[in-house]
Structure 1
Amino acid sequence: MLCSFWCDCVEKIREVYKNLRRRILVVEFIYRDINFRLINIYVPNIEVDSREILEELKGLVVGKCIIVRNFNIKCSRLDVGKGVKSRWEKSRGMLMEIMREKGLIDVWSYENPEKREFTWR
């Protein structure tokens, strides 16, 4: 059923960027006559590497984007366990700036503004 949905509705799927070393894959497609860009990204939890890959991401976010990601960045108090101190990281500021500049939202956090949940446990 799902395959039928995608086959019937999504057109002109093409890879536009791949950086396997940096763990980024960008695909563009047309859905209901609208162009979309799908970005799959993994940001390592090493601060210097995070900043470099976020700088690369900034140039890839154009048009209508869907980002499937693991940023490994604590964006709010709900992103850390209770009693764990969260220190400021430059990568957090960079990510927030990219989101503001590009008009991006974290859909899960938007839909669950007070929920604390982690996928790694």
Structure 2
Amino acid sequence: MDPDDEVCLCFHVSLRKIRTYMARENPPVASLISECLGAGTGCQWCVPFLKHLHSQHTKGLTPDLKISPEKYCGARLKFHDSGAREGEVVEEATGQGSDSTVRDSDSPGDHARTEDRRA
């Protein structure tokens, strides 16, 4: 993605805004990225991607998603229709393995809340 491409499509939060927020605030857990203009608090499509960006940041890497904004947006539309994330989209964007389909009922928001409790 380019820096001005949106990661959180609900609240129009760009990759650049997320990078700047993490550099400035150094959030200890990914769920605190929600303090950056509400990222991840709408439909929750972007939660696994925000977690990946946070992971890269904590490793000292430049946070990035390796997916075109067109494919990312198209996959979000499918997510809204079906309630499931296509694992290959998550894998392509993050470069990490994933289950083939992640249902919304698997509750990515719950993972963020669990992460908060561990901190």
Tell me whether the two structures share a fold, i.e. TM-score over 0.5.
no
Structure with more of its chain in strand, by fraction = 1
Tell me the TM-score normalised to structure 1 length.
0.29
Larger radius of gyration: 1
Tell me the TM-score normalised to structure 2 length.
0.30
Comparing both chains, which one has the higher relative contact order based on Cα–Cα distances under 8 Å and sequence gaps of 6 or more?
Answer: 2
Structure with more of its chain in helix, by fraction = 2
